[in-house]
Chain A
Amino acid sequence: MKRKLFPYFLVLPTMIVIILFNVYPILRMLYQSFHQWNMINDMQFIGFDNFIKLASDKVFLQSLGNTFYFVFWNVLLCTGLGLLLAVFLQKNTRFNRFLQSISFFPYVVSLASVSLLWSWIMNKDYGLLNYVISFFGITSQDWLGSPGLAMNSIILISVWKSVGFNVLIFISALQRIPKYIYEAAILDNSGSFQFFRKITLPMISPTLFFITIINIINSFKIFETVQILTRGGPLNSTRTIVYEIYEEGTLFFNVGYASAMGVVLLVILAILTIIYFKTQSKRVQYQ
């Protein structure tokens, strides 16, 4: 009996931390989402009212749409561009290692600094970006200030920041493909596209699977760039779920309502992850 209990005793400190700081807050959020509370008065149970209100909240629905738009393009570009760059940079030469480091560099910088940097680059009047495109005869754009462009600019910044991380992970996966398999394929007269489709892609599929899920989850949490660069504007065009939660919860003190949004986000992520695992894991080739 003692032998059986001892391991539980050893993991107890960790379990306490996990329960206290992971499990409890989530349950607490769930609990709050069924209440009305402004952090001063007592909590008031209101059933599903918060969720019913959410379903017809135009701003919330718009931020939900914005978030999905952001997630779709951010995941597609980070993963696709990351893989493409990795394929070009996979050969282990000094020049490629230099390019890899450069592409990874933005990942190390804090998002706040990145945002400040890009607010300068994308400035309408004296920004670097407008200066560069003026060489190609394109007129100045209000990158962060026009409703049609702002979200795309946010996506651009986000891809710029995290594509290097994707590249790094993909390169390590590509370099794990043994050299002799390439050689066998050369002797089998395989073209490089055919090789990529039939051998490379299936062989790195576990990594591709992992990266996509990580990218999806991270993308849904888009917040800092929006908060620093656009504050959800212009015309709510860059308002995202997490930014909305932040505003409702910490600026307007609608804690119950913000919690309900948090629950919606949680459910969306859970459903997406389950669907993704169900559909993709069949195609992933673990050797």
Chain B
Amino acid sequence: MGSIELKNITKSYDNKKNVIEDLNLKIPDGSFTVLIGPSGCGKTTTLRLIVGLEEPTSGEVYIDDKSMEKVEPGDRDIAMVFQNYALYPTMNVRENIEFGLINNKVKKEERDKLVTEIAEIVGLEDFLQKKPGELSGGQRQRVALARAMVKKPKVFIMDEPLSNLDAKLRAQMRIELSELHQKMNTTFVYVTHDQTEAMSMATNIILMNDGAIQQHDTPEKLYEDPANLFTAEFIGSPSMNTYEINEIPDYNPPIPEAKYVGFRPSAAEVILNSTSEKMNKNDLIIKVKIITREYLGSEIIYNCESGFGKVYFKTFQKEDMSDENEITLYLPEQKLFYFDEEGKRVHI
């Protein structure tokens, strides 16, 4: 078990502006939930509220339907992996892993068994006598994971655990964490600002901005069915092209309240003979000028200029269009997203 619920949470520091305002969210048991958002959006604060390292100004945190108001962080059955690992520098790896167990009065034989078991899972058997200072970044990361795992918690909390690793190790750890989640079958709550991490590992994503939840959904829904302009622009790489409709010449949206229109860089089709006709009156045809071209192996990202702003588009075709300065992009109606004045999504 390990479901989490936040009810009407507000948090402010020193009675200044609210970092989080009236936040309500449910994290289902056994899920891999990722909190994502730009810096300062309140995701780390939310995490710390769940752990109990911060107290909410108002509102309540529930774990397994039990109020955590009077429960100390150490008694919440939560383990946390910190961004900078927060290993105890004066203890060796074994002592680091064992410290929580000793404090919880676990017997020596039991402790030894657990430590050996965990060390094997994360591949630290040969490093148990080493101090954190003697380990590489990846090894420290594993110690931090082992220290959290050994307690067999109901909820696993991770605060940007991969941000200090190099790109290759990060990709490898993403897969390992997903496997770990399947193996352990407990609730994972994970904070990151890296959408690749969020999209690749999460079963649920909570996208936050300015202390409020923008959308709480599966990765697929978040990408394919964004609820608002912020989500649409945040998820996806490169991000969605969005424009004010009245700046696009000769285009009338099918919905009168639509103020913005957007499309994914991968949705644009390139038309080489520019005399094509609209198949549907709501389709969008834009003429662009290629400025730069990023070759990424399997795909190419073009950065273009149109009369009303920048356009990014992505293609898996190999033809070289760098010479062809002026091209036409065709966007069928079903690939377009419309948003109203407040940035809320409107459907046809």
Contacts and interface: CB of A to CB of B under 8 A. Distances in A.
B207 interface: no
Contact of B88 (A186, A189, A191, A199): A199
Interface string B308-338: 0000000000000000000000000000000
B133 A184 contact: no
Bin the interface of chain B by size: 20 to 34
Where chain A touches its partner, the secondary structure class is helix
Interface stretch (A48-56, A62-70, A102-110, A175-183): A175-183
B53 A186 contact: yes
A187 B90 contact: no
B104 interface: yes
A184 B75 CA distance: 13
Interface string A117-146: 000000000000000000000000000000
Contacts of A80: none
B146 to A, nearest CB: 13
A198 interface: yes
A218 interface: no
B75 A189 contact: yes
A287 to B, nearest CB: 5
A180 B80 CA distance: 11
Nearest to B88: A199
A187 B78 contact: yes
Contact of B103 (A180, A181, A190): A190
Contacts of B82: 180, 183-184
A202 interface: yes
A188 interface: yes
Interface string B96-140: 000110011000000000000000000000000000010000000
B79 A285 contact: no
Contacts, number: 63
B75 A180 contact: no
Interface string B13-53: 00000000000000000000000000000000000000101
B74 A184 contact: no
Interface in A164-222: 178, 180-181, 183-191, 194, 198-199, 202-203
Contacts of B203: none
Nearest to A205: B90
A183 B51 CA distance: 10
Contacts of A184: 80, 82, 86-88
B103 A287 contact: no
Contacts of B103: 188-191, 194
Nearest to B89: A287
Contacts of A188: 74, 99-100, 103, 147
A118 to B, nearest CB: 40
B236 interface: no
A189 B79 CA distance: 11
Contacts of A181: 86, 88-89
Contacts of B89: 181, 203, 285, 287
Contacts of A180: 82, 84, 86
A285 B90 contact: yes
A205 to B, nearest CB: 8
A285 B88 CA distance: 12
A109 B80 CA distance: 49
B99 A186 contact: no
Interface string B57-85: 00000000000000011110011101010
A189 B90 contact: no
Contacts of A202: 90-91
B125 to A, nearest CB: 22
A187 B51 contact: yes
Contacts of A190: 74, 99-100, 103
Contacts of B86: 178, 180-181, 183-184
A93 to B, nearest CB: 13
Nearest to B74: A189
A92 to B, nearest CB: 14
Contacts of B51: 187
Contact of B104 (A189, A199, A285, A287): A189
Given A181-B88, A287-B133, A187 B104 contact: no
Given A189-B74, A198-B91, A183 B99 contact: no
A287 B134 CA distance: 10
Contacts of B90: 198-199, 202-203, 285, 287
Nearest to A194: B103
Q: Most chain-A CB neighbours within 10 Å: which of B51, B72, B89?
A: B89
Nearest to B84: A180
A92 B127 CA distance: 37
A166 to B, nearest CB: 22
Q: Which 5 A-B pairs have the closest CB atoms?
A: A189-B74, A202-B90, A188-B100, A184-B86, A180-B86
7 contacts: A181-B89, A184-B80, A185-B99, A199-B90, A202-B90, A203-B89, A203-B90
Interface of B: 51, 53, 72-75, 78-80, 82, 84, 86-91, 99-100, 103-104, 133, 147
Given A184-B86, A184-B87, 19 more contacts: A178-B84, A178-B86, A180-B84, A183-B53, A184-B82, A185-B88, A185-B99, A186-B73, A187-B53, A187-B100, A188-B147, A189-B74, A190-B74, A194-B103, A198-B90, A203-B90, A285-B90, A287-B89, A287-B90
